[in-house]
Amino acid sequence: MRYLPLTPEDRAAMLETIGAASVDAFYEDVPASARLRGPVPDLPMHQGELAVERHMSRLAGKNRPASSGPFFVGCGAYKHHVPASVDHIIQRSEFLTTYTPYQPEIAQGTLQTLFEFQTQVAELTAMDVANASMYDGSTACAEAALMACRVTRRNKVLLSGGLHPHYADATRTLCEAAGINVVQLPPTIDGELDLIDHLDADSACVIAQSPNVFGSITDLTPLSDAAHDKGALMVSVFTEAVSLGLIKPPGEMGADIAVGEGQSIGNALNFGGPYVGLFAARQKLVRQMPGRLAGETVDAAGDRGFVLTLSTREQHIRRDKATSNICTNSGLCALAFTAHMTLLGQKGLSRLARLNHEAACALADALSEVKGVEILTPRFFNEFAFRTPKPADAVLAELDHRGVIGGVRASRFYPGDAAFETVIIACATEYTTPADIAAYAKALGEVL
């Protein structure tokens, strides 16, 4: 049955009911300069299916797969090996779902995987409780800021200079709509504890990252203590979940809320998404957490079962009472995380983390031998920042011509900041081979 749009009479009746003069009135808050008065510029008009398919294929052919050669990009999205068994498990009909079950207790397989997922995230972060995942790491960070303001009834959020810029942008966007004051320190490679000097009685929380966007590892315990002394919450952020197999987790550093990206476990790069946000907190804050909690129970016959225990999403309760209106996720990504984590186990995750760190150390050693290169990150897990004598964008372009994808230029995150024009952030994982590292060092030496 084909879709029949509303008639002009239907539209007029709806506009009259809600008191709007026209459909354009819905967009009056959008600046006139941002509104289009005709077709999108530079976008070709419609074509036949075959022509569109050929055009899209040509565009796709310009992409270079991460596995096509030496690859050293990180900064929030990481190239890790995902066992083939993960793909098999996530296609099991008793587990597979692409989205939220709105009659949750019917989907016992989905609820069980969410319960296991929550358990794994809580163990990984050393926190009391975790929700059934978020959209991604950046929105999880933004939700943590809103949650901290609800808990403390304060209106000021402090961000470190090492917080991933995408996470900071998402937090500012969401907080701005809620009337929350967001203060971020200037970008710095190793300055997460600088937040201590900016805490005051108005601070709802401090948000710091370890490893931060430059790869620096910081024990955030002193920052947690300082925040608690001021009545503020400590929010610990991570973008590389594998790092928690080796470094001190947020819970052991006194964090009240831990948020981050889970893409590294079970999920491929996928050109930037979909990913899976991780969100954990102290037990006393559970009712202010966004999202959902799946719990374990028994049915009428006494058999083990699972139930949606806490639902603070707008789909389950009145929108004005919801703790969040964007706390969604791709259930398939959370399932892949759970499957991969189950296969790894504690020993497997620790070993994987060590392999990552060893590869990054080998990369840093090799690049430091190149004339003019200065390693900037003092303590790192699997990525670090380094300075070159030439502009980073030019260096990376030349590396690309030599078949090496050398990392991310810091100026992409901080345009116009001269201090970062020559800084590159490079990452090595278990996927990185000694031959890849040798190729990078050789190519970089030629470019410089």
Residue 61: alpha-carbon gap to chain centroid: 27
Extract the residue ranges of the chain whose pLDDT is less than 50: 1
Alpha carbons 87 and 81: distance in angstroms, whole number: 12
Two structure tokens written together for 442: 């050789």
Two structure tokens written together for 75: 């900064």
Alpha carbons 323 and 146: distance in angstroms, whole number: 9
CB 167 within 8 A of CB 259: no
In the chain, CATH 3.40.640.10 sits at: 84-341
In the chain, CATH 3.90.1150.10 sits at: 67-80+346-447
Please report where in the chains the tokens 């907080």 appear, as a residue: 175
CB 192 within 8 A of CB 208: yes
CATH topology of domain 67-80+346-447: Aspartate Aminotransferase, domain 1 (3.90.1150)
Task: Encode 34-58: b = buried (16+ Cβ within 10 Å), e = exposed.
Answer: eeeeeeeeeeeeeeeeeeeeeeeee
pLDDT at 43: 83
Q: Which helix (H) or strand (E) holds 277?
A: strand 277-281
Separation of first and last alpha carbons in the chain: 64
pLDDT at 427: 98
pLDDT at 171: 97
pLDDT tens per residue, range 229-250: 999 999 999 999 999 999 999 9
Q: What is the CA radius of gyration of the chain?
A: 24
pLDDT at 197: 97
pLDDT at 33: 87
Two structure tokens written together for 408: 């991310």
CB 433 within 8 A of CB 81: no
pTM of the full predicted structure? 0.89
CATH architecture observed for domain 84-341: 3-Layer(aba) Sandwich (3.40)
Alpha carbons 309 and 344: distance in angstroms, whole number: 28
pLDDT at 55: 92
Identify the DSSP state of 235.
E
Alpha carbons 223 and 337: distance in angstroms, whole number: 30
Q: Which long-range CB contacts under 8 A does 103-106 form with residues at least 24 apart?
A: 104/294, 104/307, 104/308, 105/305, 105/306, 105/307, 105/308
pLDDT at 313: 61
pLDDT at 1: 46
CA angle 214, 205, 148 (to 5 degrees): 120
Continuous H helices in 300-386: 331-368
